[in-house]
Structure 1
Amino acid sequence: MSQTSQWNSVFTFIMAMIGLTIGIGNIWRFSYVLYSNGGGSFFIPYVIAILVMGIPFLILEYGLGFSFKKSFSNLMHSIRPEFEIIAWMLVLFVFIVVIYYMIILGWDFAYLLNSFNFGWGNDPASFFTSYVGGSSNLASFTTIIFPTLICTLILWTVFWVVSIKDVKGIGKLSSVLIPLLFIIMIFVFVYAFTLPGFNMGIATLLNPNWSALLNINVWLAAFGQSIFSLSIGQAMVYTYASYLPKNTKLVDEVLIVVIANSLYEIFIAFGVFSILGYMSMASSIPMDELITQGTGLIFIVFPQIFNSMGIMGHIIAPLLFLSILFAGFTSAFALFEPLLSSLCDKFSWSRKKGVTILVIVAGIGTVIFSTGISSYLVEIVDKFVNNFGILILIGIQAIIFGWFYGVEKVIPVLNEFSTIKVGKSWIFIIKYLLPIILIVVWIFGVVNLFESMNFAEIIVDVVISVIVVGLAVIFTKQNPKKS
């Protein structure tokens, strides 16, 4: 499959790549990470993380995908057959991410539908618990939250319709949604900059804590954000790059995507804190009580703000939830593609068959994530899959590509048409610097993970591990397709 699929043009590829990197995390994660890790001083480790890890690893993935034109599992098998199991584990972990990622988009879709008449009422927290995300009460696992289930299954149906039409369908949709996303977010947040109190919000965000630069956890947060935001090492970028046409300026396109992603999330952070500054002034609630990560910010704090904005709230709210849907949907395609590509390559499935089977599997997963502990389950799985599973596999990839494959082989392909060239310093980063950084980040992530785990979380993590390792072994042992 992957050898014949191709983007319509370099533009559609860049739009799809920006769609891949710009997701829910930019909107609800970056502003919180920036604020809680030193404010304005965080930009120093943030920029360094992008320069020494984000850009070099993306360049590597572009080069490998463009050179091999084969699925990720096939690539790892061709480097050394025993490495194939690592590929399957990675693409399975990434597939788990897309299942709960679509659940979050299901919540967002439910809020979008309720945003026209503020269906969440005067108590958005109760609305979220009762009708969308549930609670952490394990007894609620036996109940189904039907608005979340129905909204998510609708999104999976649309996803199936677009995805069966080859990557050209994804490219066309991204070419429409990404420019629309930028237009909507510019409108929303330029308006935010006119609200009373916006400058207080931005001042709170950027207030630098220079001593934070001596804190190892701040640097780990910067590298973690770079991995999360740019989606490096998760076989998504590699898979998308394998569909590129010839004569592509690979290094130049990496820089375009990284710059667009970084400017977007910085702009979003300014907008989010402008709105929080307005809410703090209007309600007399201190900023630090309003600032929360992820779910609480988007689905509880923001609806409270919209309730107080009058007629503009009815305009801004649908636009915000629509933009989250656009950003998330284009990322979901990228999360879905690595396992699809690998299965179609291994078992000679047509794209339509592969998409259909995986969407059915994801639909079953959707039911599990739509129970009364929906948001709690998403939180548990997200922590384990990202901090434990994907992170260590990215580190292992850096070692495999640097030492067993030999990144030097990719340089001619990268430099052939690119305006900006790579050389010895890039090789040094891939072979020496990146594996060390990634393994250190992983160790700290694992320590934090296991310090906070309870029995229910251990059970969920063990089940995920058994499924991923078991399926990876089964897929690896199948007779590989002759290429």
Structure 2
Amino acid sequence: MSNLSDNNNEYQWKSRFSFLMAMIGAAVGLGNIWRFSYVLYSNGGGAFLIPYFVAIFIMGIPFLILEYGLGAKFKNSLSNILKKIRPQLEILGWITAFLVFLVLTYYVVIMAWDLIYLLISFTKGWTTNPDMFFNTHIIVGANNLNNVFTPVIITLAATIFVWLLIWYISHKALDKGISKVVNILIPLLFIMMAIIVFYSFTLPGMDIGIKALLNPNWSLLLDINIWLAAFGQIIFSLSMGQAIAVTYAGYLPENSRLVDNVLVVVAANSGFELFTSLGVFSILGFMSFTSGLPIEQIATSGTGLLFVVFPEIFNVMGDMAYVIAPIFFLCVFFAGVTSALAFLEPMCLAVSRKFRISRARSVTLLCIFGFILSLVFTTASGNYVLTIADSFINQFGILLAVILQAVIFGWIYGVDKLIPVLNEHSTVKIGRTWVTVIKYIMPVFLSIMWIIGIFDLLNSQNSVEIIIQLLIAVIIVAVPFTLTKLKAR
């Protein structure tokens, strides 16, 4: 066993609270704000909550328990854990950490867009036509590679700031950097989102949005796509199988209540995204009420919701928008920061452990490399490449990594070895049912999701997009292969 806590405690949580805030921060990200409400709305409304909670209990909680157990037992990077199980498995640990790092390279660009909107929200600088503003000033280019060498200066400047912020927080020892930040940002995030949601309940037309969101379509429960949507939401919402939970749990002291911590994090994450979705749709209901447009013409997800629909709503909200809009974009930024810190951590630990370099040096090297990769997303073709990269990395890469981890830890390592570690200090105990879920139920469900996702991905792509995805695939294999072959110090 490798001890993560060195003389200056670069890799150790000072308190359970810091760990919980960091794990909640990793889970509560942009997707909780811009994605979940639309997934709920477009997949059967209130009926979607049944597969959603089933997915939490038969996949989300069991897999996070596995990751916490691995982190607590091995106290090492995922690549080193897999290397100890079988040396030839080391590369999978590097691939997993690198996939999450690649997500970070475009995640910071979306945070940069949000930072721009935060600054202009005080004057509604997105003008009376937010759609045109977003397309001509922020993402600029069309859906092609014609402008891949044309930087969008404002986005580039904001991206540099975000990378510097991530570096500044992460290069410090854990208790002086990430711990301090998450201990402040996560409580603030929850308070500010509560202000927005409770204000949204006072808006005329809020009931239109809530009814549209929660109106159950029970017939859709027989549609497998609804179930796949629920499982997909849980995987990405809880950052399952992305080496983040293994890494963060490895920084815990010996006597931690591992299973109890999982339940707290899952409850906080689900509570936040359900609560936020009520606010989002209350505000969309207000927009429907004031514009006369039906909800289905307004409701969307992703950057369209964040940078077009919400600015349009703030434009008709009156003077109160000058308060609510900055709070909203600050919420998004805080959620982004805490998730970005988590995305960097698995690669940081893996590099630091294998090559015996300090945390500060590891973070510095990764932030420089990450910034270079980010540059493509700050160009006038950046949004086009970002959309392709995001769908490929998530639907193909991360999902496959989760399946392989379930198989390796369930069958090759023997997941029941973790039961004593998990139960030793936990109030809630686990047993054979948990082992069955990890070994049998999870690999089957995830494999079905992955196969359907690949078919959807291939059927919706043109030749240029397939070439971009192949290039990403080469990078995903080449960098981890090189890191695996390099000699450890």
Measured against the shorter chain, the TM-score band is: over 0.9
Does 2:95 correspond to 1:84? Answer: no
Of residues 133, 137, 146, the one that matches 1:131 is 137
The answer (yes or no) to whether the contact 1:3–1:70 under 8 Å persists in 2 is no
Q: Give the structure 2 partner of residue 108 of structure 1.
A: 114
The answer (yes or no) to whether the contact 1:2–1:341 under 8 Å persists in 2 is no
RMSD of equivalent CA atoms: 1.0
Residue 17 of structure 1 aligns with an amino acid whose one-letter code is M
Of residues 252, 255, 259, the one that matches 1:247 is 255
| More displaced 10-residue stretch of structure 1: 363-372 or 274-283 | 363-372
Of residues 60, 70, 79, the one that matches 1:64 is 70
What is the rounded CA distance, in whole Å, between the counterparts of 1:159 and 1:446 in structure 2?
33
1:286-301 matches, within 5 Å, as 286-301=294-309
Residue 292 of structure 1 aligns with an amino acid whose one-letter code is T
Does 2:155 correspond to 1:148? Answer: yes
| More displaced 10-residue stretch of structure 1: 134-143 or 193-202 | 134-143
Residue 104 of structure 1 aligns with an amino acid whose one-letter code is I
Of residues 158, 165, 168, the one that matches 2:172 is 165
The answer (yes or no) to whether the contact 1:103–1:369 under 8 Å persists in 2 is yes
What is the rounded CA distance, in whole Å, between the counterparts of 2:414 and 2:139 in structure 1?
46
Q: Give the structure 1 partner of residue 206 of structure 2.
A: 198
How far apart are 1:142 and its partner, in Å? 2.6
- 1:91-131, Cα deviation, whole Å (9 max, x unpaired): 11111001111111001001001100011101111111122
The answer (yes or no) to whether the contact 1:18–1:260 under 8 Å persists in 2 is yes
Does 2:278 correspond to 1:274? Answer: no
What is the rounded CA distance, in whole Å, between the counterparts of 1:125 and 1:376 in structure 2?
16
1:17-416 matches, within 5 Å, as 17-134=23-140, 135-168=142-175, 169-416=177-424
- Scaled by the length of structure 1, what TM-score is found? 0.98
Does 2:57 correspond to 1:15? Answer: no
- Provide the identity percentage: 52
What is the rounded CA distance, in whole Å, between the counterparts of 1:112 and 1:197 in structure 2?
26
How far apart are 1:2 and its partner, in Å? 3.6
Residue 171 of structure 2 aligns with an amino acid whose one-letter code is I
Residue 66 of structure 1 aligns with an amino acid whose one-letter code is A
What is the rounded CA distance, in whole Å, between the counterparts of 2:117 and 2:4 in structure 1?
37
- 1:424-462, Cα deviation, whole Å (9 max, x unpaired): 000000111111111111111111111111122112111
The answer (yes or no) to whether the contact 1:230–1:261 under 8 Å persists in 2 is yes
Of residues 442, 458, 463, the one that matches 1:434 is 442
**Which contiguous aligned blocks of 4+ residues in structure 1 show a shift greater than 4 angstroms?**
none
What is the rounded CA distance, in whole Å, between the counterparts of 1:293 and 1:351 in structure 2?
37
| More displaced 10-residue stretch of structure 1: 125-134 or 42-51 | 125-134
- 1:39-63, Cα deviation, whole Å (9 max, x unpaired): 1000000000000000000000001
What is the rounded CA distance, in whole Å, between the counterparts of 2:72 and 2:223 in structure 1?
39
What is the rounded CA distance, in whole Å, between the counterparts of 2:349 and 2:455 in structure 1?
33
Q: Which runs of 5+ in 2 are unaligned?
A: none
Residue 371 of structure 2 aligns with an amino acid whose one-letter code is G
SS in 1 for 2:19: helix
- 1:240-295, Cα deviation, whole Å (9 max, x unpaired): 00000121110001000000000100001110000000000101111100011111
SS in 1 for 2:148: helix
Residue 12 of structure 2 aligns with an amino acid whose one-letter code is Q
The answer (yes or no) to whether the contact 1:144–1:371 under 8 Å persists in 2 is yes
Q: Residue 173 and residue 428 in structure 1: after superposition, are their counterparts in 2 closer, same or farther (change >3 A)?
A: same
| More displaced 10-residue stretch of structure 1: 168-177 or 131-140 | 131-140
Residue 454 of structure 2 aligns with an amino acid whose one-letter code is V
What is the rounded CA distance, in whole Å, between the counterparts of 1:242 and 1:200 in structure 2?
46
| More displaced 10-residue stretch of structure 1: 362-371 or 77-86 | 362-371
What is the rounded CA distance, in whole Å, between the counterparts of 1:363 and 1:104 in structure 2?
13
What is the rounded CA distance, in whole Å, between the counterparts of 2:173 and 2:240 in structure 1?
23
Residue 148 of structure 2 aligns with an amino acid whose one-letter code is F
- Scaled by the length of structure 2, what TM-score is found? 0.97
The answer (yes or no) to whether the contact 1:20–1:331 under 8 Å persists in 2 is yes
How far apart are 1:137 and its partner, in Å? 3.8
What is the rounded CA distance, in whole Å, between the counterparts of 2:5 and 2:434 in structure 1?
28
Q: Which runs of 5+ in 1 are unaligned?
A: none
| More displaced 10-residue stretch of structure 1: 322-331 or 4-13 | 4-13
SS in 2 for 1:47: helix
